[in-house]
Structure 1
Amino acid sequence: MMMSRLFTLGNAIRAMILFGVFALFGVIVQSCQGPEGALDRFAVKTLKGLTTLDVPPTRPASLPFDTVTGEAVTLSDYDGKVVLLNAWATWCPPCVAEMPSLDELQRLRGGSDFQVVGISVDRNKEMAREWADENGINDMALWHDKTFRMTGELVLPGFPTTILYNRTGREVARLSGEADWSSEEALALIDYLIAQ
């Protein structure tokens, strides 16, 4: 008799309505989450903070920089290449902690298709050059933001911030904070961007 009360037509209808409400809720939640982008699969482990933009801006090609040896340069010097731009400073512990992995990434993947550029926001370029020399940073390009405009123009939330530009100069992803740029996931991300 107890079993027959549980399996009544009214209870069956209530269960179907409840199931329908949960299913509808699941569809709504799923639709509110944007579609996964091609680069989202690389946002794992040390790159879990990697973010992508629906409408990526172009890089500021005319923003002037100096190399740490004093040559005038701009990001347009790397037109046609995938560029990893890292904003850093010698006074920033997470910045200096990730510099060896950025240098290693340049050593492993740098060439005609890819370039790592570390742009220092130190008071002067000599501080960045001396730190790099003392710490064996030899392969990546080291620049200095002589105008101190980079932070505003690139909308940097802090240091370090890394921005990835595709071959056409569009920002495709960014990561705020320290990462291991010589990790398996970072190398896979760079290989993917180079292949595009």
Structure 2
Amino acid sequence: MPSLSLTLAVLGLAVINGGCDRQSQPPAQPAAKEQANAGSPATAAGSPDRSHAGSRLPDFTFADPNGQKLHLPELQGTPALINLWATWCAPCVKEMPLLDDLASRMQGKLRVVTISQDMQGAAKVAPFFKQNGYRKLEPWLDPENELAFHYGGANLPMTLLYDAQGREVWRIAGDFDWSGAEAQNLVGEALVK
């Protein structure tokens, strides 16, 4: 009859080996993510998603810290790049200077519209804009996160390109390098229509 210590040692090895086997299984999260995206094409973060191409500009109105209004359908006539962001979102903050530069380079050809999803609205956004001295970006506010919910509870940043007729061309979830040639080519898709 085996000794008690030998029995415990064998059981201990079985538990350790069993734990290793569990770790070799694929994680449950990707399956859940795939299931959440069922019915829509999968796109990698930072890649353009064209599954909503042709959708019209949504009918929302936003204000800036001074109370000026922006009715999104009124953007028609000029291609528009709409960026949903927040001051607490590190990738969003990283993108803001790049978007400001893009707005400068594309002035008159493309309107870059940044809409903050900060729940504290102007109290957070106005000092952020003042501190960073953006030249071309406008501090539009969406403290109720209406636009993020409209786009499916989007993770931030979320950027959408609309052509001059107010139709969606593509959207990008996650941060993106708006200074590179790839960005120039993607934005150019709305300029040729």
TM-score by length of 1: 0.70
Aligned residues of 2:87 and 2:125 also touching (Cα < 8 A): yes
User: What's the CA shift for 1:132?
Assistant: 1.4
Listed as ranges, the gaps of 5+ residues in structure 1 are 1-42
Secondary structure of the corresponding residue to residue 143 of structure 1 = strand
1:10 corresponds to: none
Q: Structure 1 pair 166/154, CA: closer, same or farther in 2 (3 Å)?
A: same
TM-aligned CA distance change 1:54 to 1:132, over 3 Å = closer
Counterpart CA distance in 1 for 2:172 and 2:189 is 17
Measure, in 2, the Cα distance between the counterparts of 1:82 and 1:142.
19
Matched with 1:11 is none
1:194 partner amino acid? L
* Counterpart for residue 175 of structure 1: 172
Deviation at 1:155, TM superposition (A): 2.0
Deviation, 1:59, is 1.3
Q: What letter matches 1:74 in structure 2?
A: H
Q: Quick check: 1:64–1:147 contact (8 Å CA) kept in 2?
A: no
| Equivalent position of 1:76 in the other structure | 73
Aligned-residue CA RMSD (Å): 2.1
Aligned to 1:140: 137
2:169–2:190 contact (8 Å) kept in structure 1? no
Counterpart Cα distance in 1 of 2:160 and 2:153: 10
**Quick one: distance in 2 between partners of 1:48 and 1:91?**
19
CA distance in 2, matches of 1:57, 1:192: 15
Instruction: For 2:139 and 2:111, locate their aligned partners in 1 and report how far apart those are by CA, in whole Å.
Output: 11
What is the alpha-carbon distance in structure 2 between the residues aligned to residue 54 and residue 73 of structure 1? 23
Question: Cα offset for 1:55?
Answer: 5.0
CA change 1:124–1:48 in 2 (3 A) is closer
Gap runs ≥5 in structure 2: 1-42
Per-residue Cα deviation, 1:134-154 (whole angstroms, up to 9, x for no partner) = 112221222001443111112
In 1: Cα distance, 2:121 partner to 2:71 partner: 17
In the other structure, the counterpart of 2:115 is 119
Deviation at 1:54, TM superposition (A): 6.1
- Identity of aligned pairs, percent? 32
Structure 2 SS opposite 1:84:
strand
Tell whether the 8 Å contact from 1:115 to 1:140 is kept in structure 2 after alignment.
Answer: no
Aligned pair count reads: 150
Task: Write the distance in 2 (CA, Å) between the matches of 1:54 and 1:71.
Answer: 29
